[in-house]
């Protein structure tokens, strides 16, 4: 893993990344505006001794700088007033920005961090279709949907590779793809050793199939947001490049703000599609987040 980091980041940045990976992550929450307004929740948590610091770019997201007790055991948590979510994973839905009039699909939905965020952005209205292939993860998804009061969604237990055969066209698709989780080392140090290059290769095959199926299910002018909690180019830019290769119906579009640094367009002696630079990478050593990747793809009209 470190050899690969040296190749695509350079020695200096790779060393900074390894150091930053050892620093604990400040917890953060996303206020569930389906159930409570931001000021009321802030007041309730602060009166219990929690210290909330607003995030710059998402008005209902907060870092928790002091937690007198476990954030997962407050009455407010159990009532679904907030979701425990680290900062970078709030980005995909923020960028995709679905509205109640969109047909929205989350291709890999469990346990529902981003699905509940999609519902929130849609004001809990319209059509939200959630797909999950792992039966064992569906109860956690259902529980979160219920806790957060989501009522505009249906859950489909299926392989999302089949989405393009479902006779369904969507305006907004979230593909938060299964990945090695290389970016999660700060949260879970066991990730340093739990996956190897073989796992990356296997996952990239699945990622490409899922991306193809998602793109084939978009309405003209529709958007697909691809994200992973991995910084491996093999799971991100190279997946996009392989799938989008020579396909002029789709383009990777610029995200309105810079949350991270540009996507990589030259790696392992390979030159990738130029528009892939509009993707964004977030790194522990540069952005004080987990390692994360987001890319917004548009289907031409």
We find the least distance from the C-beta atom of residue 260 to ligand SAM, in angstroms, to be: 18
Which of 229, 231, 243, 276 is an active site residue? Answer: 229
Cβ proximity to ligand SAM: between 210 and 243 the closer is: 210
Cβ-based neighbours of 47, under 8 Å, separated by 6 or more = none
Of the listed pieces 34-42, 97-105, 129-137, 252-260, which binds ligand SAM according to CB under 6 A?
A: 129-137
Q: Are 170 and 129 in contact (CB under 8 A)?
A: yes
Pick one of 30, 94, 114, 147: the residue that binds ligand SAM (CB under 6 A). 114
Q: How many other CB atoms are found less than 10 A from the CB of residue 59? A: 11
Q: Does 142 bind ligand SAM (CB under 6 A)?
A: no
We find the least distance from the C-beta atom of residue 47 to ligand SAM, in angstroms, to be: 29
Pick one of 27, 80, 112, 222: the residue that binds ligand SAM (CB under 6 A). 112
Cβ proximity to ligand SAM: between 63 and 137 the closer is: 137
Q: Are 244 and 263 in contact (CB under 8 A)?
A: no
| Nearest residue to 224 via CA among 281, 163, 158, 140 | 163
| Nearest residue to 80 via CA among 142, 141, 35, 137 | 35
Cβ-based neighbours of 245, under 8 Å, separated by 6 or more = 273
We find the least distance from the C-beta atom of residue 266 to ligand SAM, in angstroms, to be: 27
| Eight-state DSSP code of residue 184 | G
Of the listed pieces 14-22, 126-134, 236-244, 282-290, which binds ligand SAM according to CB under 6 A?
A: 126-134
Cβ proximity to ligand SAM: between 41 and 115 the closer is: 115
Cβ proximity to ligand SAM: between 14 and 260 the closer is: 260
Catalytic site includes residue 229: yes
* Span between the terminal Cα atoms of the chain, in Å: 41
Q: Does 137 bind ligand SAM (CB under 6 A)?
A: yes
We find the least distance from the C-beta atom of residue 229 to ligand SAM, in angstroms, to be: 7
Of the listed pieces 125-133, 187-195, 235-243, 270-278, which binds ligand SAM according to CB under 6 A?
A: 125-133
Pick one of 67, 79, 111, 298: the residue that binds ligand SAM (CB under 6 A). 111
We find the least distance from the C-beta atom of residue 137 to ligand SAM, in angstroms, to be: 5
Q: How far apart are CA 284 and CA 301, in angstroms?
A: 37
Long-range Cβ contact pairs of 6-10 (< 8 A, separation 24 or more): 7/267, 7/268, 8/233, 8/264, 8/267, 8/268
Cβ proximity to ligand SAM: between 160 and 224 the closer is: 160
We find the least distance from the C-beta atom of residue 195 to ligand SAM, in angstroms, to be: 13
Pick one of 4, 35, 94, 133: the residue that binds ligand SAM (CB under 6 A). 133
| Nearest residue to 191 via CA among 29, 28, 22, 15 | 22
We find the least distance from the C-beta atom of residue 263 to ligand SAM, in angstroms, to be: 19
Q: Are 58 and 94 in contact (CB under 8 A)?
A: yes
Residues 148-187 interacting with ligand SAM (rule: CB under 6 A): 159-161, 176, 178
Q: Give, in degrees to the nearest 5, the angle at Cα 36 between 33 and 39.
A: 95
How distant, in Å, are the alpha carbons of 10, 18, 22, 26, 184 from that of 13? Answer: 6, 9, 15, 22, 17
Q: Give me the active site residues, please.
A: 229
- Name the residues that contact ligand SAM, by CB under 6 A: 107-114, 131-134, 137, 159-161, 176, 178, 210
């Amino acid at each position: 893993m470190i050899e690969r980091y040296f190749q695509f980041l350079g020695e200096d940045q790779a060393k900074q990344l390894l150091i930053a990976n050892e620093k604990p992550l400040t917890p953060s929450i996303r206020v569930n505006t389906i159930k409570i307004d931001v000021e009321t929740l802030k007041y309730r948590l602060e009166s219990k001794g929690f210290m909330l610091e607003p995030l710059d770019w998402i008005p209902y997201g907060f870092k928790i700088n002091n937690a007198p007790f476990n954030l997962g055991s407050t009455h407010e948590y159990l009532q679904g007033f907030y979701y425990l979510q680290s900062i970078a994973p709030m980005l995909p839905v923020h960028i995709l920005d679905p509205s109640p009039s969109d047909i929205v699909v989350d291709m890999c939905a469990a346990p529902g961090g981003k699905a509940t965020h999609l519902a929130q952005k849609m004001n809990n209205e319209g059509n939200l279709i959630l797909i999950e292939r792992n039966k064992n993860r569906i109860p956690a998804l259902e529980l979160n949907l219920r806790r957060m009061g989501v009522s505009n969604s249906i859950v489909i237990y299926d392989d999302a590779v089949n989405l393009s055969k479902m006779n369904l066209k969507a305006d907004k698709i979230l593909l938060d793809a299964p990945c090695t989780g290389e970016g999660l080392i700060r949260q879970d140090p066991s990730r340093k050793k739990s996956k190897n290059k073989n796992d990356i290769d296997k996952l990239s095959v699945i990622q490409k199939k899922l991306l193809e199926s998602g793109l084939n299910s978009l309405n003209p002018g529709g958007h697909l947001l691809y994200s992973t909690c991995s910084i491996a180019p093999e799971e991100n830019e190279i997946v996009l490049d392989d799938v989008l290769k020579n396909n002029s119906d789709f383009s990777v579009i610029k995200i309105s703000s810079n949350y991270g640094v540009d996507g990589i367009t030259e790696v392992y002696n390979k030159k990738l599609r130029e528009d892939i630079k509009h993707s964004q990478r977030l790194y522990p050593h540069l952005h004080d987040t987990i390692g994360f990747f987001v890319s917004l793809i548009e289907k031409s009209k």
